Amino acid sequence: MARSPGTKATTEKVSEGRALALDSFMRLLARKPFERISLGEVADEAKMPLADLRAAFGSTFDMLSGFLREVDSKVLAAPTDDMADEPARDRLVDVLMRRLDVLAPHKAALRSLMDSARRNPFFALALNKLSVRSQQWMLAAARIDTAGLKGAVRAQGLALVFGRVLQTFLSDDDPALARTMAALDRELARGERALGLIEGAVCLATGGRRRRRDTDTPTEPETPVPPDAPVMA
């Protein structure tokens, strides 16, 4: 059944409100720590009533989650047919570099988030959960399997890899991103060397069932992460 004009107008208003609120939230985040941003400040920055803000988001953390969903969508919207015949690692590098391109205008806000994560381990864990969800979509964009426990381990590993690369990216002012590219290549290589350990852990957790290794699939990165390397975006 077709939606009524009133329903369509309401949906469009909420969508516009979400975009406005997200832009305002990210501007605030670039200027101050996440934990000091209030709902009222976002509404004031966006010049919108609190009722409209509530219709769009449930909390400031919900706004952060919404921002990452927007980043995911922009990366996923880019065509990938030209990479279809490339090795899986090359496809993944292409996807992650596109993600960095989308994140580039928000470097100040990302630095702020990382600082907050270093101060608050619980916040870092919450950010990690968002990052793992995003990296599942990045793996899917690179046509890499995300199913089951192995897919979950792979997404967590990639979140850790991307978190380390992001730290280099935030201090890389070279338009060609040479340092960032080198860091991405290095971290993916480290992940590949850890494949035997991760594969064994997955087999053990699934009752010892053997899985055939796909030589065209990037291997899972190391899972340990130091406390001073929060995962984000």
State pLDDT tens for residues 140-168.
998 888 888 888 888 998 999 999 999 99
Closest by Cα among 89, 72, 97 to 166: 97
Is 70 exceeded by the pLDDT of residue 7? no
Please state which of the ranges 34-43, 72-81, 119-128, 219-228 shows the lowest mean pLDDT: 219-228
pLDDT tens digits, one per residue of 175-199: 899 999 999 988 888 876 543 233 3
Percent of the residues in the chain that have a pLDDT greater than 70, as a whole number = 76
Residue given tokens 């997955």 in the structure block = 202
For the chain, the average pLDDT equals: 82
DSSP for 30-99 reads HHS-GGG--HHHHHHHHT--HHHHHHH-SSHHHHHHHHHHHHHHHHHHS--GGGTTS-HHHHHHHHHHHH
Looking at residue 199, its pLDDT comes to: 39
Coil/strand/helix, residue 220: coil
CA distance 155 to 27: 29
